[in-house]
Chain A
Amino acid sequence: IPPSLSSSQAIELIKKQMEQIDKLLQLHCDDPEVRKWDNLTEQVIIRAFGKPHDNLDVYSSA
């Protein structure tokens, strides 16, 4: 899958995901919001860098 976002679009979307981390830290790890955030973050990384990509592997194994 090739990247589909410009650098500036990718930066904006990643920042948006980062802004939600403080809220997630208040939740339990089983909260569906956490899974939702994680899935969306992976999608953003794929759109930013393409798939396969080292960044995606590093993120997924974190």
Chain B
Amino acid sequence: QNSFIKTLHNKRSLLEGFIEQLKI
């Protein structure tokens, strides 16, 4: 469950990065 939470936080960071790419 702990790694699940880490994974979701990691995915959130990735998605934030994808949005930044799309803004360029």
| B residues less than 8 Å from A7 (CB atoms) | 22-23
A21 to B1 Cα, complex, angstroms: 15
Query: Is there an interface contact between A18 and B16, defined as CB atoms closer than 8 Å?
Result: yes
CA distance A6 to B11 in the complex (A): 22
- How many of chain A's residues touch chain B, expressed as a range? 20 to 34
How does the 8 Å CB contact mask read for A5-43 relative to B, with 1 for contact and 0 for none? 001001100110110010011001100001000000100
Give B residues with C-beta under 8 Å from A: 1, 4-5, 7-8, 10-12, 14-16, 18-19, 21-23
Name A residues whose Cβ lies closer than 8 Å to a Cβ of B. Answer: 7, 10-11, 14-15, 17-18, 21, 24-25, 28-29, 34, 41, 45, 48-49, 55, 58-59, 62
